[in-house]
Amino acid sequence: MDGAIVEVENAYKRLEEWIAGGRQGDFHAVRLQALKEVGPSVFFSLLVIAVAFLPVFTLVDQEGRLFKPLAYTKTLAMAIAALLAVTLDPAMRMMFTRMDYKHFKPRWISNVWNAVTVGRYYAEEKHPVSRILFRVYEPACRWVLEHRVKTIVAALLLVLSTIPIYLHMGSEFMPPLYEGTLLYMPTTLPGLSVTEAQKLMQTMDTVLKSFPEVERVFGKAGRAETSTDPAPFSMMETTIVLKPEERWRPKDRWYSGLPNFMKGPFRRVWPDRIGKDELIDELDKAMQFPGVSNAWTMPIKARIDMLTTGVRTPVGIKVFGADLKEIETIGTSLETILKDVPGTRSVYAERTAGGYFLDFTLKREQLARYGLTVKEAEEVLMSAVGGEPVTPTVEGRERYTVNVRYARELRDTLPKLRRVLVPTMSGAQIPLAELADIQLVTGPSMIRDENGMLSGYVYVDLAGRDVGGYVEEAKKAVRGKLSLPTGYSLVWSGQYENMLRVRERLKVVVPITVFLIFLLLYMNTKSSVKAAIVMMAVPFSVVGAVWYLWILGYNISIAVWVGMIALMGLDAETGVFMLLFLDLSYNEAVRRGKMRTFQDLEEAVVHGAVKRVRPKMMTVAAAMMGLVPIMWSLGAGADMMKRVAAPMIGGLVTSFILELLVYPPVYAIWKWRYEMKHGAVDVAQLSVHEVRGGHP
């Protein structure tokens, strides 16, 4: 809508001046000239918004799949809008603009017809909205023109004061996208038996189900017959399906005493039910079992994290080296160090060498003595201890494998295993103890191999901390307390690894995008100074974006950066329109021969800034009205989109205010010192394009 607003407002102004000047000439020519004045700037400003989304197209993996549809939609829409703004929109305005009333009977129908098709043109000074804006803005505009250096220095200090706030903000890869369910992933030490795993999981499910917010739970220990989920009994998973949030426990708010029908608007800002983080904290406190390390996430999120980095918690540490025992030692040391870092909810280091095994070492001399082969002895072990499938059973459409092995009571201790009998060719039954040494040993429960090296993982679950800030503090603690042996290394993974990947990519792409925007502005204005003045809107918008994010308590994430990137294009657009109206006023004053002194320049700047403040206000208001409903939304995906909309809303506010207050003195200084050169300017010094009323 921005381009149409600027075009119709400029045409309105020119037609109002045409009427005030005695309606000399054809109004179609006036209308066409008004479109030519703003058409190029409208086209390039919309094109800048489309180009500003270039960094989003460079995103890959998870973030690319999430935000590329938004980028394609917005870019195509803005590209078509830029085309329509200089083709269809002017054509329709030229076709349907009417300036002469038609009188016919009945009179009231004639009045309605003329009000709809022609209307009445009022001077800006008589417009009710403009009068209010003039009363507020004109004194401020004249004050900043009188105190030009102070205004520019104050704006610079305001921008610089935002830097510490930004540096102290938290950082994360993706904001939480609430799925309506939770995934509880406890981890125990290796060696948990089937019976104990079942007993522990049933106890956990009972505790979880006792919470009123929980609808049902489903726990899993071990893995199915698949290689895609190599989870031992020590790694459990419990899916917690939650009730709708409006059925969660209430908590007192300042508006709790109001009637229920009046609470709706306040609930969107101050919820009167416990939040997801509060619920997880309560669940975590209730699920404290000896020897169990808790981790809380969501089902879809957990699968994506494990597929991308192999780490199911927000932060993970991968220990690489050549010896599994040394890797386990380093992991347990990290576990001890990280427990004391603020924000650590739980930390668990894999016991890479902590598996328990039953070894049968066959005695080849004894096998030869009884006429047995190694294969025959192993077949007895397979059938008696491990179990051997002998046949399937058919139960309707279901198929089950029938395994045969010794009963549990005949194989659950070492003495009983030693009494397992092995048949010989002579018919003799030889105890297994005569043929093999049987002993319990420890070894690697699971061997990880990554990048050609053995590895072990340390899982860290966080509470009340952002990922980036936590990792930076944790790195300092690890550097101060842990000395790695030669040949061993640490890699910080999980969401932190994804966050670093996106950050490094944006460090390259965003500066290129800023340069392309500057290039487009230069092509439009034919002046590097004017392009630089327009680009001042970018730091002005950062002020509002950062402070608004800080007020809302949001961390810097990829969603916030997408909002910042979108804001960059909107800033350039508002800056183009502000400079456009200043140029139109300045050129008009030069053509009338009223650009002799600094007071003449000041009046031209005031006229361009103040008298045309309403269309500038309308363009910003149109963008704001499209974004505010996002901040008011609730439900799935709202948390993600609020991070996109928040920097755009905050940045538009400060960018618009600072443009109104800083552009006039900057523009006046530039014109007086470098174009007027402290003297008069006449129409001969304007370019041909400027003489015709166009925007350079």
Domains, the chain, with CATH or none: 1-121 (1.20.1640.10), 125-168+526-696 (1.20.1640.10), 180-297 (3.30.70.1430), 355-443 (3.30.2090.10)
Is 233 a residue whose pLDDT tops 70?
A: yes
Q: Are 436 and 270 in contact (CB under 8 A)?
A: no
pLDDT-derived band at 226, boundaries 50, 70, 90 = low
Statement: residue 696 has pLDDT above 70: no
Per-residue tokens: 205: 């499910």
Contacts of 347 (CB under 8 A, 6+ apart): 293, 334, 335, 338, 339, 458, 459, 460, 461
The 8-class DSSP code of residue 635 comes to S
Run of H or E residues at 501: helix 495-525
Average of per-residue pLDDT across 18-27: 76
User: Which run of H or of E encompasses 166?
Assistant: helix 148-167
pLDDT at 471 over 50: yes
pLDDT for position 695: 42
Statement: residue 687 has pLDDT above 60: no
Mean pLDDT to the nearest integer, 360-367: 89
What the block records as the tokens of 378 is 């192993």
CA-based nearest residue to 55, from 507, 499, 510: 510
pLDDT tens across 415-450, in order?
888 888 888 888 888 888 888 898 888 877 778 888
Least confident of 158-162, 341-345, 460-464, 594-598: 594-598
Q: Which residue, 541, 610, 616, is CA-closest to 577?
A: 616
In this prediction, residues 106-119 reach a mean pLDDT of: 83
pLDDT-derived band at 298 (thresholds 50, 70, 90) equals confident
CB neighbour list of residue 84: distance below 8 Å, 6 or more residues apart: none
Overall average pLDDT of the 173-187 stretch: 84
Burial class (CB in 10 A: 0-12, 13-18, 19+), 310: middle
Residue partners of 266: CB distance under 8 A and separation at least 6: 253, 255, 258, 272
Average pLDDT over residues 520-530: 81
Beta strands 421-423 and 489-494: pairing type? unpaired
pLDDT level of residue 532 (50, 70, 90 thresholds):
confident
Residue positions counted in the chain? 696
d(CA 10, CA 583): 13
Tell me the pLDDT band of 686, cut-offs 50, 70 and 90: low
pLDDT in tens, 275-295: 888 888 889 889 888 888 888
Reply yes or no: is the peptide bond before residue 106 cis, omega within 30 of 0: yes
Containing 345, the helix (H) or strand (E) segment is strand 344-349
Q: Chain-wide mean pLDDT for the chain?
A: 82
Give the residue-averaged pLDDT of 385-396.
86
Q: What pLDDT score does 692 carry? A: 45
Q: At what angle do helices 128-146 and 598-610 cross, to 10 degrees?
A: 140
E-state strands within 111-235: 181-184, 187-188, 214-221
Residue whose tokens read 């443009």: 659
pLDDT recorded at residue 627: 84
% of the chain surpassing 70 pLDDT: 96
Asked if residue 683 has pLDDT above 70, the reply is no
- Rounded (10°) CA dihedral 360, 361, 366, 367: 70
Q: What is the per-residue pLDDT for 15? A: 78
Inform me whether the pLDDT recorded for 59 exceeds 50.
Answer: yes
